[in-house]
Structures are given as structure tokens and as C-alpha cells.
């Protein structure tokens, strides 16, 4: 099992088109090895569970977890509602997926 402490997290406010607003948290935890495979826990509290993302190496599982997180957030914004930052200097601003997940 992985370490429970996230390596990165941000508090958000999820604004669902039908259910209203409620707090959430975007997080990524440290990849860990299990039976020769690497797994990276990732998720958005308040949107339902995401599976631990597997890869052949720690860095691969981390990169794939970031991609899965981007997909989940994009899907929520396109179909269900908006996501606002709920901490820091940008509190109250909508999440900008292009800034959060830049393409090279």
C-alpha cells in the first residue's frame, strides 16, 4: 500500500450544474512498487475514485497518473460543471487546464 500523504494537492470548489457547489481536493500521491509494477494513487475528492495508475517505472506511473487526472478534470468541466481553486492567491478563480497541464 502507498504512503497516505500526497506529494501534491490543491483544495478546490466543485460547482456541479445539478448538485450545487461543494469542496473537493485534487491530489497525487507518491508512486510505489507492488509485485514488480509501479502504481501512483491520484484523484479528486468529491468526484469519485480513480484507480491507482500503473506503469513500468515510478516516473511512468506518475506521468500516466497526471494524464488521467487531466482527463478526469476535463470531463467534469465539459459535462458536469466548473472547478474553482479554493486556496492561495488564486482562490475563487476557475481552474485553467491549459496552464495546469501545458503541452510541449
Q: What is the pLDDT of residues 47-103, one digit of tens each?
A: 988 899 999 999 999 999 999 999 999 999 999 999 999 998 889 999 999 999 998
> What is the C-alpha to C-alpha distance for residues 10 and 30, in angstroms, rounded to an integer?
15
Whether 51 maps to a domain, the answer reads yes
Whether 102 maps to a domain, the answer reads no
Please state the pTM of the whole predicted model: 0.88
- Total domain count, the chain: 1
Beta strand residue intervals within 17-76, DSSP E: 20-29, 32-34, 37-40, 42-45, 53-55
Whether 74 maps to a domain, the answer reads yes
Whether 1 maps to a domain, the answer reads no
Whether 49 maps to a domain, the answer reads yes
Whether 96 maps to a domain, the answer reads no
Whether 47 maps to a domain, the answer reads yes
Range of the domain at 48: 6-91
Whether 40 maps to a domain, the answer reads yes
- Torsion sign over Cα 103, 24, 64, 28: positive
Amino acid at each position: 500500500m502507498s504512503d497516505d500523504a500526497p506529494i501534491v494537492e490543491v483544495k478546490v470548489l466543485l460547482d456541479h450544474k445539478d448538485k450545487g457547489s461543494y469542496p473537493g481536493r485534487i491530489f497525487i500521491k507518491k508512486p510505489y512498487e507492488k509485485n514488480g509494477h509501479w502504481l501512483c494513487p491520484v484523484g479528486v475528492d468529491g468526484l469519485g475514485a480513480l484507480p491507482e495508475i500503473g506503469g513500468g517505472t515510478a516516473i511512468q506511473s506518475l506521468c500516466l497518473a497526471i494524464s488521467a487526472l487531466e482527463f478526469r478534470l476535463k470531463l467534469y468541466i465539459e459535462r458536469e460543471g466548473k472547478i474553482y481553486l479554493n486556496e492561495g492567491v488564486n482562490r475563487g478563480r476557475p481552474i485553467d487546464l491549459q496552464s495546469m497541464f501545458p503541452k510541449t
